[in-house]
A and B are shown apart, each in its own frame.
Chain A
Amino acid sequence: MRQAFCTGLVEQAGLPEFVFLTGDLGFKALEPLQDALGPRFINAGISEQNMVSVAAGLARSGLRPWAYSIAPFLYARPFEQIRNDVCLHNLPVILVGNGGGYGYGVMGSSHHALEDYGSLLTLPHMRAFVPAFDSDVRSMIPMLMQCEGPVYLRLGLSEEPKGWPVPEYAPWRKLLCGNGPVLAGVGPLVGGTLTALEQLEEDVRPEVWLVTELPITNVPAEFIVSVRRTRRLFVVEEHTAHGGFGQMLVHHLAAAGEPLDSFIHKHALGYVSGLYGSQKFHRAECGLDPASIVAAVSMQCVPVIR
């Protein structure tokens, strides 16, 4: 997604208010943006606390700062700066975390972002955008450039199935039809699971929804109708259960008086074996690989005795 991200931002370089800060990252990815922005591209060095507060100062000056780093360095290290200087002041700072979830794979736990949007969404005014496909990034950038408050953008690797037409961008998109449970997910993981889910018989195959903007707002009526019909909900996300999309969605449905007979939540579990590997390896340890998701969906289709 970094290339789509860079290309999308280069298209915005003509906006005089646009300023880009990086925490000394972006090699072989952000050079075109650096060239396009000139003095408005600032390498803030390896100092994320300072970078976030500087971004707040820039936003207070009427500029539109974007601050970029590897995801955990951006949301965990300077959390107080994000809270006090950006969110409490409701400033339009766009925080861009690369490598959401287990994106940095075998680089290890320090580089993983398993609780990013959950922890950030506890802060006032914060919104999180989690693109699943490269085209989502391109659609989001112009929107984010106009945002009126703080935003966290979680980047990963686009996982769209070959030859599969990505539907037009929307915060909630139905990607697959089926008569099985309703499956709702966040991030590229959903795209990477589509091919396997598509193979399921129609009665078992879930109706798949992709959600890319948090916190949950404007839930489509069609989604609610499907949940009401099936009363079975399956949520996938590369994020901890605490503060994750699954908890948000169940809370939303409970508050709306929508009962569920069955709820399965597949989410990041940390380091199950204590071993390290690729993003695929860690997803599999959490039951977030396509085979595990397909198996769990099939199990959820066993009739529930009320």
Chain B
Amino acid sequence: MQTSLEVCPQIDQYAAMAGRPPAIVSQAEAAELRERAKLRLLEMHYQSKVGHIGGNLSALDILMSLYHFRLGPEDGFVLSKGHAAGALYVTLWTMGLLSDDDLRHFHGEGTRLSGHPPLKGIPEVIFATGSLGHGLSLAAGLALGKKLRGEDGRIFCLTSDGEWNEGSCWEALIFLAHQKLDNLTFLVDVNGMQGFGSTMQVANLGSLADKFRAFGVRTTEVDGHDANSICAALECNDGPLAIVAQTTKGCGVSFMENEMAWHYLPMTEEQYHQAVLEVTECARLSVLV
């Protein structure tokens, strides 16, 4: 799996569209930002002693690309795979929308950063999620709302791949295709793992991309750890659009990659230091390449 975060040629353009100055201007800065986010995610999960780190690492590059290079003030985002809340919080932290102090309280007593996106307290979180199979319908409602109100902007949604076991996802797919919600983009984090086995073992859906196309939805397949690829796909404003992102659960940490256990386990001190070492080394190499 490619792990370098190269700067998309259109990044400045995306940033301008989003109404903010380009956050990343060089490959080195992109790598540094990616490293900072990943290290902060690991630290946050280590300190809070919670699991879900695998699916957070698979989603992080998608969320970073989406927030830094695509989302503008008129856009909205729903994290349907709510168990990637950590990756969302860290992404918001890289944008200055959450503080270090916020992250330090992740998953703690009296925190506003619960294990899944909260009901209140973070303006960027439009809907609290966590139970799978809700987010795409919510996003469809937001997109339809924009169309009925004649508003600009686009709604984005990130689902997991295992989540497509839920019948409600397919209800949403039928609806968004039939209603021609051309202001909606949904991404699928295809890390190939779910709660108690691989997606192939549990309920093999084969190619989700083929299925989305069969429902009449324009579909792009990307490397979910390649910013170029993700940003280029996010550029499309026709739709509704599905972006099927191939990812690696536990991406960037060798002993976590493609291991179901890292849906659940907290890290030991030794594991945490090993993970930090690997992420730091990977970032150093990607700059040298």
Residues of A within 8 A of B (CB): 19, 39-40, 42, 44-45, 47, 49-50, 52-63, 80-81, 84-85, 88-89
Contact = CB atoms under 8 A, between A and B. Distances in A.
A63 B144 CA distance: 10
B188 interface: no
A56 B127 contact: yes
Nearest to B151: A61
Contacts of A55: 141
Given A49-B168, A53-B172, A57-B141, 9 more contacts: A47-B171, A47-B174, A49-B137, A57-B142, A57-B144, A58-B148, A61-B149, A61-B151, A85-B138
A80 B166 CA distance: 13
Chain A CB within 10 A, most for which of B137, B140, B142, B149: B137
Contacts of A49: 133, 137, 167-168, 171
Contacts of B140: 50, 53-54, 57
Contact of A62 (B134, B149, B172, B178): B149
Given A19-B148, A81-B137, A88-B119, A50 B178 contact: no
Contacts of B126: 60
A69 to B, nearest CB: 13
Contacts of B128: 84, 88-89
Contacts of A85: 127, 134, 137-138
10 contacts: A39-B148, A50-B172, A54-B175, A57-B140, A57-B143, A58-B145, A60-B138, A81-B137, A88-B119, A88-B128
B84 interface: no
A50 B145 contact: no
A256 B76 CA distance: 47
Given A49-B168, A53-B168, A58 B144 contact: yes
Contacts of B148: 19, 39-40, 58, 61, 63
B176 to A, nearest CB: 9
Chain A CB within 10 A, most for which of B126, B145, B151: B145
Contacts, number: 98
A18 B101 CA distance: 42
Interface of B: 119, 126-131, 133-134, 137-146, 148-149, 151, 167-168, 171-172, 174-175, 178-179
Main secondary structure of the interface of B (DSSP, over half): helix
Contacts of A42: 144, 179
A20 to B, nearest CB: 12
Nearest to B140: A54
B145 A62 contact: yes
Closest 7 interchain pairs by CB?
A57-B141, A61-B145, A53-B137, A50-B171, A47-B171, A54-B141, A49-B168
Contacts of A84: 128-131, 134
Given A53-B141, A81-B134, A60 B168 contact: no
A49 B168 CA distance: 6
B210 to A, nearest CB: 22
Contacts of A40: 148
A70 B138 CA distance: 22
Nearest to A43: B178
A85 B138 CA distance: 8
A85 B172 CA distance: 14
A88 to B, nearest CB: 6
B175 A50 contact: yes
A54 B184 CA distance: 13
A192 B174 CA distance: 43
Contacts of A81: 134, 137, 168
Nearest to B130: A84
A42 to B, nearest CB: 8
A11 to B, nearest CB: 20
Given A47-B174, A50-B175, A80-B131, A56 B141 contact: yes
A306 B178 CA distance: 68
A44 B131 CA distance: 22
Contacts of A39: 148
Chain A CB within 10 A, most for which of B146, B175, B178, B179: B175
B168 A57 contact: no
Contacts of B119: 88-89
Contacts of A60: 126-127, 138, 141-142, 145
A54 B144 contact: yes
A40 B151 CA distance: 15
Chain B CB within 10 A, most for which of A45, A50, A89: A50
A44 B137 CA distance: 11
B168 to A, nearest CB: 4
